[in-house]
Structure 1
């Protein structure tokens, strides 16, 4: 009985926090989304799922987040393997500091940096005009947002994958090399299966972060139609709280659904191996 009381005392703060800061606000948000917006004859959920512009915003958000996640994993994996396999190469600490430096920046600063690099007065546009005479501006569309996502997703992913690569048993790799396996076969047959969990975790983190990113989108969002900006517009510019709440629920459900599918596929792959 004493042990049960002890567990209740330990669990009580977590339960209270869960109820106060997640379950009750989410229930309230879902309830607001079920309300009927002014001038409409159906709930905000029905409006959200029947209006093409909201669907387009959701599709843009999911596609951009998936693309940024895949690109981040493709870039981060070889970088992480190199850093983990060469702990003593000259300049490693400086390189690590530069790679992790973006973690100190909020989304608004990341957006500003993208503008400085690829905006109308940015470095890329200046070089393009000097070399070809044609302007090249990426900052204010999906391409600029994609670059911004890579900027703040890569440091997080590299940290996760480096730890996973360092945890691979080197005896497996040495045994495979002794048996005549080339580097590519060692990577495909040993490293990649061992990194499946880390890649899934890093991909889930990247996707969820990209789906909900607002600061970078807000800074660059003159020609961008993604759900965080749509929710902001409905709430701030149009005072349409039911639609903003419904879109927020849809954003959360879409994120959860993609993460659930990714984790299920990863678990199935792990069982197959």
Structure 2
């Protein structure tokens, strides 16, 4: 046996211990708690049979899909511009755009309140113009803005790297053959960065599905799956339902990430 093989097998033990401690054992315990309630294993169907839980699931999926679409659209435009242009202050601009990576969700929620809360900037501006008080921080619109702000730097970093690796000769060849800028974007640029789009989109979707801090900060009129789990666990002491909803949330997110990896292959695996 080669020394490299022996070393690899030696590393299997700490790897197994890590996976067991931080994934297998917690998941087994979570599954057991979900089946220990008065409904038994039928608790797993609560997300479909309970009207409130089902509505929350639909709202969470819709919000996550909208956040993913908006983040990819904005991120693609910004990434193409920043990757193709060099100008004074560009490093500072990139640093500012990626600054939200350093913020927890609670801080992002607080920033949304400062922007669109009852005493926020938009509210003061609209009142000054005699247009009434504009407040949307405590609604799905506020959560949407917070999630986009939170997800954008994660998408932007991945897409910028993909655009910079794209061969400019391909686009030049398309232009020389008479392709318009829109055709070059559609037929050359977007297919070239498709793996990065899938990877970053999956990350944005997974982040929006499970994000809690921002929703908790803005939770006046918001009912998403993460908040429902928190309510069932802390306020209702309904551990079985909270565990079942947690497993459902994890499975949905895992399926999306698995599909993303299958669609884009190694590109997604590397980016994730």
Could you state the TM-score of these two structures normalised by the residue count of structure 2? 0.92
Offset, 1:95: 1.1
CA contact (8 A) 2:34 2:41 kept: no
Mapping for residues 27-66 of structure 1, pairs under 5 Å = 27-37=28-38, 43-66=42-65
Q: Secondary structure at the match of 2:221?
A: coil
Q: Who is 1:270 aligned against?
A: none
CA contact (8 A) 2:116 2:122 kept: yes
2:245 aligned with 1:247: yes
Q: Who is 2:17 aligned against?
A: 16
Offset, 1:188: 1.2
> Residue deviations 1:115-172, cap 9 Å, x none?
0000000011111122243211110010000000011111111111000000001111
Structure 1 residue aligned with 2:164, among 163, 166, 176?
Answer: 166
Task: Give the Cα separation in 2 of the matches to 1:81 and 1:48.
Answer: 40
2:5 aligned with 1:7: no
Offset, 1:12: 1.9
CA contact (8 A) 1:36 1:43 kept: no
CA contact (8 A) 2:67 2:148 kept: yes
Q: Who is 1:136 aligned against?
A: 134
Q: Who is 1:199 aligned against?
A: 197
Q: Secondary structure at the match of 2:55?
A: helix
CA contact (8 A) 2:80 2:163 kept: yes
Mapping for residues 202-221 of structure 1, pairs under 5 Å = 202-221=200-219
Q: Who is 2:77 aligned against?
A: 78
Offset, 1:100: 1.2
Offset, 1:178: 2.0
Task: Give the Cα separation in 2 of the matches to 1:209 and 1:240.
Answer: 25
Q: Who is 1:175 aligned against?
A: 173
Structure 2 vs 1, CA of residues 224 and 16 (structure 1 numbering), >3 Å: closer, same or farther? same
Task: Give the Cα separation in 2 of the matches to 1:183 and 1:205.
Answer: 29
Offset, 1:262: 4.5
CA contact (8 A) 2:114 2:120 kept: yes
CA contact (8 A) 1:33 1:43 kept: no
Task: Give the Cα separation in 2 of the matches to 1:133 and 1:80.
Answer: 36
Q: Who is 2:186 aligned against?
A: 188
Task: Give the Cα separation in 1 of the matches to 2:195 and 2:105.
Answer: 28
Offset, 1:260: 3.7
CA contact (8 A) 1:116 1:122 kept: yes
Could you state the TM-score of these two structures normalised by the residue count of structure 1? 0.91
Aligned residue pairs: how many?
Answer: 264
CA RMSD of aligned residues (A): 1.7
* Structure 1 unaligned residues grouped into runs of 5+: 268-273
CA contact (8 A) 2:122 2:135 kept: yes
Q: Who is 1:109 aligned against?
A: 107
Q: Who is 1:238 aligned against?
A: 236
Structure 2 vs 1, CA of residues 166 and 42 (structure 1 numbering), >3 Å: closer, same or farther? closer
